[in-house]
Amino acid sequence: MAANPWFSSWNYGLFRILFGFIPHRDFTDNLCQVLISTPLLSTWVFAACCYRYWTKYDEPRDGELRARRRRYLVNAAAAFGIACLVTLVLRPWIHWPAPVLNPDYQPLFPRDLWGDGVANCFPSHSTLAYFMTAVGFWPLNRRLSLCLSGMALLLVSFPRVYVGGHYPIDVLFSCLLGILVLAAVWRSPLMASGPPKTVKRKGAGGLFREFVFFLWVFELGEGFRSVELLFSAVRHMSSR
């Protein structure tokens, strides 16, 4: 396993600059930990925006506009799934431990944070999820998209970098990957030509779509913790 990330000196320099402006103190460390552990203060705003745009009603032009909004919301969720598959392919070949596990970076952080990170922190999947969700609103509401993008970096990415869970390169790569995958999905004829009439259908098919979207919004709001627990349980059972 590689000991240091890509552009190690650049990452180290950014940490030095960051901690020069915002030194580690109990208040800042605790605030970042609260943002990471409390979805209501960080990630639920993304879920609320998705739910609002999914259910928004535009009488009398409801059919066309609602179908367009839902198509872009589905595209963003599908793009996130594709991006996750890309990272799964890359992780066996590109990996490094979190800064608080890296002896070269540990002196930058308080000693009580040492050992809290994961063995492979590349890339930042939290950034990937919420930054992609934010950029996914670009065709629908550019001001909202920019606002959510800033919130993703400030409320999701920054706390994880500040406490040593990720390097700046992890966040930068996730942002670039998210933009590239979203652009590819938007240009895909399969995604772009989703049938608008499906949003008007009733019955089992429509209820199933609503249920799946509800699960997506819930997991988005909760930081995909249920998914993580499920995968952990599956790994534990398969290792027996």
Does residue 136 fall inside a structural domain?
yes
Number of domains in the chain: 1
Would you state the structure tokens that stand for residue 69, as one six-digit string?
């909004």
The per-residue pLDDT for range 137-163, each reduced to its tens digit, is 999 999 999 999 999 999 999 999 999
Does residue 193 fall inside a structural domain?
yes
Q: Which domain holds residue 83?
A: 46-197
Does residue 33 fall inside a structural domain?
no
DSSP H helical ranges for the chain: 8-21, 26-37, 44-55, 62-90, 125-136, 142-151, 158-162, 168-187, 189-192, 204-222, 225-238
Residue with tokens 């308080």: 110
> What's CA 134's distance to the chain center, in Å?
9
Does residue 210 fall inside a structural domain?
no
Whether residue 76 contacts residue 136, with contact meaning beta carbons closer than 8 Å, is answered with yes
Q: Is residue 30 over pLDDT 90?
A: yes
The per-residue pLDDT for range 158-212, each reduced to its tens digit, is 999 999 999 999 999 999 999 999 999 999 876 655 544 444 445 555 788 888 8
Would you state the structure tokens that stand for residue 116, as one six-digit string?
């809290």
* Burial call 24-55: b when 16+ CB within 10 Å, e when fewer: beeeebeebeebbeebeebbbbbbebbbebbe
Confidence at residue 118, expressed as pLDDT on a 0 to 100 scale: 92
**pTM value surpassing 0.85:** yes
Does residue 208 fall inside a structural domain?
no
Does residue 98 fall inside a structural domain?
yes
As a whole-number percent, the residues of the chain with pLDDT over 90 amount to: 70
Q: Is residue 240 over pLDDT 80?
A: no
Nearest to 128, CA basis, from 67, 160, 193, 172: 172
